[in-house]
Structure 1
C-alpha cells in the first residue's frame, strides 16, 4: 500500500489521506487528514472504504498535519560526515538535528524552484520515518515500534543560505525543497537496519549509492533521544540523513540547475522524481496529473 495526501479542488473537503492504486491513475480515500493521524494504525489495518477517484480529479499534497514537526538528522552516514564539516574529526556522540517547516514539503512530480540568490540546489536522498503513536521519554525499542511507515525523501538544500548563518534553517526551507514520496507501511518495509539500498540520480546519472544499515544513529535511538526533550505525536516526521555523494563536496562542486531531473530511489519505497525549475516558477506550486506525467516521461 502507498499512502498519499489528496485535495479535491471542486469539493472543498480539505486534505484527505488516500491509498494510491497501481498504475498511479486512481486513489481511494481513507479518511480526512486529521482522522487518519488520530488512528493511523487502525486505518492501515483495514481496507479503505472512501470513494475511488481518478488522479485527474485530485491534487496530490503531502499527508502532513499543519502542526507536525519535521525533524532531520544531519551527518548520519560516516562517509557523508567525512566529506563535510567533520572531515578528520571525531563524530559527536549524539546526532546533529535540525528542523524543516511543513510548508517546505512537496510531493513526487512537483517542480522545485532554485531561489534567485542560489547557484543551484544540492541533492540529499534520504528516508523519512513517520511517527504513528505518542512518544514521551520512550526507549529506542518503543520509539521504533511507533513508526507507522516510511517514505523516500529529498532534502534539497540551498547551500549559500545554509552557510550564510550559523543555523541551517534558511538553507533547509526553500520553497518546495522537501519532496516526500508516498508512505509505505512499516510492516511492508521492515527495519532500515536490514540495509535498504538508497540511490540518487541526476539526469539518469547515479550520484549517491548507499545502504540504510550504514546509518550512524538509528531511527529508534534518535526518536528516543528526541522524545526525552519534546513530545512526539502521530504525524511527526524524522528525516534520517543522507549518504555521501552530495554536490557541494565534489570537485568542482555540482548543483542542480533548471532543466535537471533528480530522482531518489529507495528499495521497497519506490522512486521520487522531481524537475528543477527557475526562480520564476516559485509561485507555481500546484501539482497536477499533467505535471507528474510530464516529468515522468
Structure 2
C-alpha cells in the first residue's frame, strides 16, 4: 500500500495509490460510496494514529474497488498535486548523522565513524512535497547541499523499545532529502540552523506501508543531480540498523505515531567532492529508493 496526501480541485485528502502508480483513490470518498459514511480521517497523521484499524479499512476498500464499481472515483496521478505525506509534522524530524561509514570518512576521516548514533533534528517548517521548489536561500548561504535518505514513519506509541520489537512500531517508509546549508552548519557548530531552513526537507512522494517493504535494511538508494549520479549505496551499509535506531531513540523518550526518522545519507554529498559541488539555482535532485519510488525537487532559480 502507498499512501499520499494530495490536493485536487481545491480538496486536500488522504489517498491510496493503485498498483501501477497511475491513479489515486480518495479514501474518504470511497468509504462514503461503499458504506454511506466517510470514516477515514482527513489527515495522514490521524490515519497513522488509527493503526491497524485504518489499514483494515483500506484493505476492504481496496478489495471493493476491484469489481470496477468505484472506477469513477479514481483520479489520475498526474492530475493531482502531491503534498508531503505528512505536510505538517507535529514534531521535529529526527535525523541520524553519519550512518554510512564512507560518508563519515568523506566528511572527515576514519576517526569520524561514530561508535554511537548521532542524532539531530529539522524543524517541521522545512517540510515540502514531491515536485515542490526548494528555496535557494542565497541571502544567507552559499553552500546548499543534498542528502538522499530513507525515512521511517513511526506507527504506534512506544518507549524502551527493544531491537527485536522495533519493526513492529513502523507504519511505513518514505524518502527525504536532508538539504543542508553547510556554511551555517559550520558557523553555528550545532546542526539545527543549517538543517532547518524553510523548504529544506522535501519528503515523499508517498508513504509505503511497512507490509510492502520486506527488507528495509537492504534497499538500493541513489541520488542524482541534473541526471548525474552523485550518491549510490544500499541500506545494508548502515552502521546502525533501523531496529537499533528506533531502540536507541526510544530509551527514555517516547516515540509517537507520525514521528519521522531520517536514517542517514550515503557518501557522495556535494561537500565530499574536491572541490565541493554545492547546489545551484535551477538544479534538479532525484532520490530513488528501491520499493519506494523517486522524490524529485528543483532548487529555486
Distance 1:25 1:127 in 2: 24
2:153 pairs with 1:130? yes
Structure 1 residue corresponding to 2:126, chosen from 81, 101, 104: 104
Cα distance per residue 1:1-33 (max 9 Å; x no partner) = 22111346745xxx5422134444534235322
Unmatched tracts of structure 2, length 5 or more: 28-39, 62-69
Cα distance in 2, alignment partners of residues 7 and 70 from structure 1: 23
Matches of 2:157 and 2:197, distance apart in 1:
29
**1:170-224 deviations in whole A, cap 9, x for unaligned?**
111121111111111111112222x211110111111111010000011111111
Q: How does 1:1-297 map to 2 (within 5 A)?
A: 1-7=1-7, 10-11=10-11, 16-21=13-18, 22-29=20-27, 31-33=41-43, 34-47=45-58, 49=61, 52-53=74-75, 59-64=81-86, 66-85=89-108, 87-89=109-111, 91-116=113-138, 117-181=140-204, 182-193=206-217, 195-278=218-301
Residue 281 of structure 1 corresponds to which residue in structure 2?
none
Counterparts of 2:2 and 2:249, CA distance in 1: 27
CA–CA distance in 2 between the matches of 1:100 and 1:192?
23
The total of aligned residue pairs comes to 273
Any conservation in 2 of the 1:18–1:31 contact (CA below 8 Å)?
no
Residue 35 of structure 1 aligns to a residue whose secondary structure is helix
8 Å CA contact 1:27, 1:55 repeated in 2: no
For the residue of structure 1 that corresponds to 2:246, the secondary structure is helix
How far is the alpha carbon of 1:123 from its aligned partner? 1.1
> 1:288 maps to what in 2?
none
Q: For residues 66 and 209 of structure 1, do their structure 2 counterparts lie closer, same or farther at Cα, with a shift above 3 Å needed?
A: closer
1:166 Cα deviation from its structure 2 partner = 1.6
Separation (CA, whole Å) in 1 of partners of 2:238 and 2:230: 18
User: Is the partner of 2:119 in helix, strand or coil?
Assistant: strand
Counterparts of 1:23 and 1:211, CA distance in 2: 24
Unaligned runs of at least 5 residues, structure 1:
279-297
Measured in 1, the distance between the counterparts of 2:22 and 2:299 equals 22
Q: 1:68 to 1:45 in 2, by over 3 A?
A: farther
Residues 164 and 18 (structure 1), Cα distance of their counterparts in 2 relative to 1, 3 Å cut: same
